[in-house]
Amino acid sequence: MNNDTFLRIANKIGVCQISQLRSAISTLRSSYDDYEENIEEKIVDLIMESLSISAWAGSANEYHNFSVWFAARPTPDYVLASKIVQKGLDQYPKSVDLLADFLQYGSKCSNEIEKCEECFVLLNSLPKNSWNWRAYSFLIDYLIVRFENGKSQDANDYILAMELADAFIKAYPRDERSYVSKGDLLRDGSDEKRLVYEEGRSMAGKAPRCSLHLAEIYFDDKEYQKMLDILEQCQVDALEVQNSVNIGYIYVLTVLCRIALLYEQNPHIIECSSAVEEQVKQIHRDFRSAKIYEESVSDRVSDLKKQIDILSEKTGIPFESDY
């Protein structure tokens, strides 16, 4: 169905069907060249025109999935995502997923503060046995945003966030997101923060986000071997259908860790032994892996190249694009 046909039908019957709207968008995409610069603008124009239709129809899950379509893009459109969720809430005002979604997207939109507060109060009033991981995670994120923006100085809000984090872990002990949520509330450098991430790795089994946070802590504490062990496992754990971590950043940290470990073991590199040479080559291999994901870590890769150049000066081993 093309967009003109969709809009004609939707306006005639006075209802916007999400499934038909997504079909119209797919048709619109396929009718343009992959490199058409304004295709995204045309899609946004179509949706904005669709939003003028007062009645929308779809399941709560369809509204959720459609909003994620725009919130998870390389350049997220949280305004559009929140408008789609609002349409869903008009139809399903007590949907746990949609209330949580609005907190996540609306908190990033300056004109949705009042609606976020309404969703916060309503979601928090619903029985916890109706909550899923998204309700816990996004509500805690929203409370953190309130703290950071200075909109809340109430100690009770922090207490509530900690209670929710503990309840999240209890409800989802094998989901690393519960431990990440609690870690976000704890002071940087605290033993408690480190222990939460360690517990997450132990309980969840596969926990790349907890591993990354732990790697950063070990780097600050100069525990480079522990950091390297975690990062090597994290490279494997990060192999997911839908990435939960920035893989390029894993390799950036790995390169920094290997360089620090090399300098720690060889404080004065006078002559390059075979062992040192192999360490340097591994650093170069990891750096090339980081460059594969350069788009997501461009600034860090640029700074890292300077460290690679310095390493070449110290060891006499030049960096090559390939061996």
- Structural domains in the chain, CATH included, are 1-57 (no CATH), 59-185 (1.25.40.10), 255-323 (no CATH)
What confidence score (pLDDT) does residue 280 get? 94
Residue from 147, 194, 160, 199 nearest 178 by CA: 199
pTM given for the model:
0.87
Spell out the per-residue pLDDT of the chain, length 323, in tens: 555 665 665 565 568 889 888 888 888 777 766 555 577 788 888 888 888 887 899 999 999 999 999 998 878 999 999 999 999 999 999 999 999 999 999 999 989 999 999 999 999 999 999 999 999 999 999 999 888 776 656 678 889 999 999 999 999 999 999 999 999 999 988 999 999 999 999 999 899 999 999 999 999 999 999 999 999 999 999 998 888 899 999 999 999 999 999 999 988 776 678 889 999 999 999 999 999 998 888 889 989 999 999 999 888 899 986 54
The amino acid sitting at 221 is D
Helix residue ranges, H only, 72-154: 78-91, 96-106, 113-125, 133-148
Task: Give CA torsion, residues 237, 240, 244, 248, to 10 deg.
Answer: 70
Distance between CA atoms of 281 and 262, rounded to whole angstroms?
Answer: 12
Distance between CA atoms of 289 and 229, rounded to whole angstroms?
Answer: 18
Q: Give the CA distances from residue 250 to residues 3, 16, 267, 291, 301, in Å, rounded to whole numbers and listed in that order.
A: 42, 43, 25, 12, 12
Contact 197, 217 (CB under 8 A): yes
What confidence score (pLDDT) does residue 323 get? 42
Q: What burial letters (b/e) apply to 162-176, b meaning 16+ CB within 10 Å? A: eebbeebbebbeebb
